Amino acid sequence: MRNTKELFDLTGRVAIVTGGHTGLGYQIAEGLAEAGANIVICARRLDKCQEATEKLSSTYGVRTLAIRCDVTSVEEVDGMAQAILDKFGHIDILFNNAGIAWGESDETISVENWEKVLKVNLTGVFVCCQRVGRIMLEAGYGKIINMGSVSGVVGVEYMDSPPYVAAKGALISMTKNLAVKWAKRGVYVNCLAPGFFSTHMSELFFRLEGKREAVIEDVPLGRLGGPDELKGPAVFLASPASDFVTGHVLLVDGGHSAW
């Protein structure tokens, strides 16, 4: 029987975090590194990925790899996966964090901007799940965590980003479907769904829209998420501690969805 420390230990595991060079993605990458995982960060800006991986490597002593990758490109995702296999020999964890948002009302947003967000936030996640998932299925083990949002679970009156909300809702259904299909083949698929956290993106939203007070009023805990409050949930879903959990949506929202 494993003890609690062993259940949460990720030593030697290889974890991909898409869009992991900043914001919540970096918080998650840092949490996985603290638990011992070797970290691969991929995004469209290689320089930012390199800065993040160098910091993680020097701070936590884990092996790292930075890769330039557009998650909507099958060819680039395949190239990313092969580069990881060439360096590490296996892929154990995929955290699909990369995403974009477009702030505009339901009444005025163009179909072009709607499709732009869905291409990254939904199609891009599926591409990564499919291509990396094939490798995990062949190995007979893997943990896939998709970054959801409280806005994919409940309506949020003050959030004007229709395609972002739609993508996160669809992502939850996709997560559950893949979890059911791949469970007997050793691949776990779960969704981590944060509420509002204090990040560069959210602070920009607050400044532009003046909605900080409205957001906080919707949170029973009366505050935003902090700089280390996704680490524990992320490590849980990535580690053996969650080996009887799949198809789950883990909300980390200060109680927002409980109203």
CB neighbour list of residue 192: distance below 8 Å, 6 or more residues apart: 145, 146, 147, 148, 230, 233, 234, 237, 250, 252
DSSP class per residue in 87-102: HHS---EEEE------
179 vs 186: CA distance, rounded Å: 10
b/e for 157-191, b at 16 or more Cβ within 10 A? eebbbbbbbbbbbbbbebbbebbeebeeeebbbbb
26, 60, 141, 164: the catalytic one is: 164
Contact 133, 182 (CB under 8 A): yes
Question: Is residue 164 flagged as an active site residue?
Answer: yes
**Known catalytic residues?**
164
